[in-house]
């Protein structure tokens, strides 16, 4: 399987803080890659490299290469960043729907990208709400505010919102950490179904979750990538001592 994303010797500094240290890693296409590690280890920062979300934080310096389909996304022109982000969807830690209706939340990405065809938008909204396993719950109240949904429903709405513009990569930053077990289960089922079409990178705190949903796992510690490999191998037979300590719950 080829690598969809590849980073080569990436270093990232927030002011004086060295947040990512010499990270080289390839993320395979149409698979689920989990990034695990204790708080502050840099896994979320690493995830946010891929859609250049770190650009929003002042005093960030990045060196090294981040290749997406072979192209260094830190060398593209500033006006191409919007296009990059269209290709790389993101689901955040806490559900963050817009203060708009359910329909408008999903349609937002289409509208800001200049799509005005009403029937296409309607079709896309319905399709992605089906994909996100939310359609049956919201089909009668598409005009209602997204804030009326439960936390789990809101998060699935955010996933539908990310899917609506048809990205090829979906980044998930602890997507289930604010949710109850049942909602978490639904999100995990969803991830499982989506991986046929998308390359998914998921940051998680939850060891069992990483074990359940991912094909590959990377373990981060203090800004460095300690180990990367097939999830089964990392969880059953890690080659580094730190990985084993973390996975067996000795720290973190």
At 240 the three-state DSSP class reads coil
Residue-wise over 175-193: b if at least 16 C-beta within 10 A, else e? bbebbeeebbebbbebbee
Quick one: 65 or 86, whose CB is closer to other proteins?
86
Q: How many helices (H) and strands (E) does the chain have?
A: 10, 10
By CB under 8 A, is residue 100 in contact with other proteins? yes
For the CB of residue 18, give the shortest distance to other proteins in the complex, in Å. Answer: 22
Contact 45, 28 (CB under 8 A): no
For the CB of residue 90, give the shortest distance to other proteins in the complex, in Å. Answer: 4
**Contacts to other proteins from residues 101-120, by CB under 8 A:** 108-109, 111-113
Contact 209, 178 (CB under 8 A): no
By CB under 8 A, is residue 92 in contact with other proteins? yes
- Counting Cα atoms < 13 Å in the Cβ hemisphere of 227 gives 20
By CB under 8 A, is residue 90 in contact with other proteins? yes
**Contacts to other proteins from residues 18-37, by CB under 8 A:** none
- Counting Cα atoms < 13 Å in the Cβ hemisphere of 2 gives 5
d(CA 205, CA 192): 18
By CB under 8 A, is residue 47 in contact with other proteins? no
Instruction: Using CB under 8 A, pick the residue from 86, 137, 185, 229 that binds other proteins.
Output: 86
Instruction: Using CB under 8 A, pick the residue from 162, 172, 176, 200 that binds other proteins.
Output: 162
Interface residues with other proteins (CB under 8 A) are: 51, 53, 56, 58, 82-83, 85-86, 88-90, 92-94, 96, 98-100, 108-109, 111-113, 158, 161-162, 165
């Amino acid at each position: 399987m080829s690598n969809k994303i590849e980073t080569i010797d990436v270093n990232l500094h927030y002011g004086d803080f060295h947040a990512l240290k010499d990270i080289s890693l390839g993320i395979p296409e149409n698979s689920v890659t989990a990034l695990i590690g204790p708080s502050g280890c840099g896994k979320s920062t690493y995830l946010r490299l891929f859609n250049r979300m770190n650009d929003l934080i002042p005093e960030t310096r990045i060196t090294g290469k981040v290749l997406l389909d072979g192209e260094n996304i830190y060398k593209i022109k500033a006006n191409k960043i919007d296009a990059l982000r269209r290709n790389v969807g993101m689901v955040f830690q806490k559900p963050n729907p817009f203060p708009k209706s359910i329909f408008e939340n999903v349609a937002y990405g289409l509208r800001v990208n200049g799509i005005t065809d009403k029937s296409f938008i309607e079709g896309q909204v319905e399709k992605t709400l089906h994909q996100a396993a939310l359609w049956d719950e919201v089909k009668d109240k598409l005009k209602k505010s997204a804030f009326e949904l439960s936390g789990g429903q809101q998060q699935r709405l955010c996933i539908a919102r990310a899917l609506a513009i048809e990205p090829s990569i979906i980044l998930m930053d602890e997507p289930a950490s604010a949710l109850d077990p049942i909602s978490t289960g639904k999100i995990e089922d969803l991830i499982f179904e989506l991986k046929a079409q998308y390359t998914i990178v998921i940051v998680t705190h939850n060891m069992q979750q990483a074990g359940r949903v991912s094909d590959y796992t990377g373990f981060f510690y203090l800004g460095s990538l300690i180990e990367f490999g097939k999830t089964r191998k990392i969880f059953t037979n890690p080659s580094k001592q730190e990985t084993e300590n973390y996975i067996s719950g000795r720290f973190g």
